[in-house]
Structure 1
Amino acid sequence: MTVPPPRRTQAERRAATRALILTHTADCLLERGYAQTTVTAVQERAGLARGTVQHHFPTRTELLVAATTHVVDLRLAEFTRAAELLPTGEDRLQAIVDLAWRDLNSPAFFTALDLWVAARTDPELRERLIQEERRVFTEMRARYLEMVGEPYADDPRAELLVEFTIDLLTGLSMTAMLTGSLGEREHVVERWKRALTVLVGKAPSTELLDADLHPIPD
């Protein structure tokens, strides 16, 4: 005799519905962008009544901010899993840059970026996103510093180099998003990886003058 599975509690059903809504909202943001991610579009994709979506998220702004939090949490989880596979030793620093570059070219990053851009002219959205933006940047920087490990962890320059790395790669990712060209940007990433080895004293400054580090073509 087959025993039927236990019925889910009301709280479990509510959590499952909320997760379904957020997943479809994040997918819609990635595929269609901020302007076309409406409550109607989300409820149609999720196969739910409009009232069900609005019961969980009374306004579009609340829905989009919650979706951003959802995406950030997924991004942090994926980043943590990837960080556990990083090599040790001299190659670790460059591997961290490669991991950062993959993260900043991921669907999760571009989904969040679309909302941040929209928030520039949407005061309500901007106010709600500020706290989430602080959380993700604080957590990402802390994780980078933790990943660096010895002998770099105690280097007083480590925090500044992490900041430079994230800012540089974020800018490169944004320009690549517009141009669709990753090749030229990846060349800059390779230059920065070489520069880091010089800055932490693991390579002579002449490393930056190698022939393969030619200027980026116009």
Structure 2
Amino acid sequence: MTTTTATRPRRSQADRSAATRAKVLAAARDVLCSQGYSGATMLVIRDAAGMSLGAIQHQFPTKAKLMAAVAAEFAAYRTRIYAEAIRAGATPRQAMENLIDANYRMVSRPEMAAVLEIHLARRNDPDLDQEVGPSARRFDRRVRLWGHMILRAAGIDNDEAYQTLQLLNNAVTRGLTVEYIRDPNMALIERSVAVWKKQMLDLVFGP
């Protein structure tokens, strides 16, 4: 009886590179969550990823570039989720409510805590700020435009009021992320979000 051994096709260089990149980003995110930005050194991330420092630096030559990639990946994910949430709204109020709900579901994600660490570190790290700043501003502009689009669809044209609400909403989101890190009581956070969401929707669209 003749037996044959099936051989799996070798992965392409692009596939191997993508797998390495994903592994490094996941390790960096986990270290940021557990040890904060100062603890997320390239050596610690190397150990968490289980690969050589050279392999990591081939993908991300500096810590700032690695942190920027972590932030950009999460921004891309949030962009997709928010766009889907808005499209699912049958009315402007429903679209805004869906957007708010999608945003607050991010609070419990490890990426949210990781990116918060990155943005806080930008204050004292010019290289990090230079790497992260452009994509962060693009993401903020996109969310702001979505908000304006929803309001105009409802016949509301008050950019100043919306900018104020967006700032407050960002502050609440980041604050709840910190609270979740301290005490991951999602039931309490959901009750708090329900109160804040009603306040926002009533302010914008009326009771």
What range describes the TM-score normalised by the shorter chain of this pair? 0.7 to 0.9
Give the number of aligned pairs.
195
Deviation at 1:90, TM superposition (A): 6.8
Cα displacement string for residues 3-50 of structure 1 (whole angstroms, at most 9, x for unaligned residues): 533221112211221121112212222232211111122121211112
Report whether the alignment pairs 1:120 with 2:120.
no
Partner of 2:185: none
**Paired residues of 1:97 and 1:193 also in contact (CA < 8 A):** no
Deviation at 1:151, TM superposition (A): 3.8
Partner of 1:191: 199
Distance in 2 of aligned mates of 1:98 and 1:29? 25
- Name the SS for the 1:88 alignment partner: coil
Partner of 1:176: 176
Percent identity (aligned): 22
TM-score between the two structures when normalised by the length of structure 1: 0.74
**Paired residues of 2:85 and 2:102 also in contact (CA < 8 A):** no
Using CA pairs below 8 Å that are at least 6 residues apart, which structure has the higher relative contact order? 2
Cα displacement string for residues 125-181 of structure 1 (whole angstroms, at most 9, x for unaligned residues): 1122211211111222234445x28742x6433x55543332111112233345567
Report whether the alignment pairs 1:65 with 2:68.
yes
Deviation at 1:101, TM superposition (A): 4.3
Alignment of 1:23-172 (within 5 A): 23-84=26-87, 86-89=88-91, 91-92=93-94, 95-96=97-98, 98-99=100-101, 101-102=103-104, 105-107=107-109, 108-146=111-149, 148=150, 151-152=153-154, 155-157=156-158, 159-160=159-160, 162-172=162-172
* Structure 1 portions without partners, runs of 5+: 199-206, 208-218
* Structure 2 portions without partners, runs of 5+: 181-187
TM-score between the two structures when normalised by the length of structure 2: 0.77
**Paired residues of 2:23 and 2:49 also in contact (CA < 8 A):** yes
Report whether the alignment pairs 1:17 with 2:20.
yes
**Paired residues of 1:38 and 1:60 also in contact (CA < 8 A):** yes
Quick one: which amino acid aligns to residue 102 of structure 1?
Y
Distance in 2 of aligned mates of 1:77 and 1:88? 18
Partner of 1:202: none
Q: Relative to structure 2, which stretch is displaced further, 161-170 or 14-23? A: 161-170
**Paired residues of 1:100 and 1:166 also in contact (CA < 8 A):** no
Distance in 1 of aligned mates of 2:145 and 2:137? 12
